[in-house]
Amino acid sequence: MSYLEDVEEVGLDKYNKDMTITLKTSEEMKEYSKEQTSAELYYDIDKNILCSDKSCYKVSSQFEEQINSYSER
């Protein structure tokens, strides 16, 4: 996930939720992480901003390219 290395934190402004990315804890990891089994991130396609409920980040163009490759499938 090297495309997440150069993220820059930005304010929690009003961003579009063009895409929802759901992260889930694998079955193998549930014994170590009982509290959080899933999380949702929101991606603003036009501004290249990735947000959780608590913070937002300007992500790299590599991340954008990776997301676009999934969208084309």
- Radius of gyration from C-alpha coordinates of the chain: 13
How many domains does the structure of the chain reveal?
Answer: 1
- pLDDT given for residue 66 in this prediction: 84
Q: Kindly tell me if the per-residue pLDDT of 4 is higher than 70.
A: no
Q: Does residue 55 belong to any structural domain of this protein? A: yes
Instruction: Note the pTM of the prediction, 2 decimals.
Output: 0.72
pLDDT of residue 3: 62
Is 14 contained in some domain?
yes
Provide the residue range defining the domain that includes 56.
Answer: 2-26+36-71
Q: Is residue 31 a part of any domain in this protein?
A: no
Evaluate whether residue 59 is within a structural domain: yes
Render 1-50 in DSSP notation, one character per residue. -GGGTT-EEE--------EEEEEE--GGGTTT-SS-SEEEEEEETTTTEE
Predicted pLDDT at 72: 62
Q: Render pLDDT for 8-51 as a digit per residue (tens, 0 to 9).
A: 889 888 899 999 999 887 777 767 766 667 889 999 989 999 99
Q: What is the DSSP letter of 51?
A: E
> Which neighbouring-strand residues pair with 52?
none
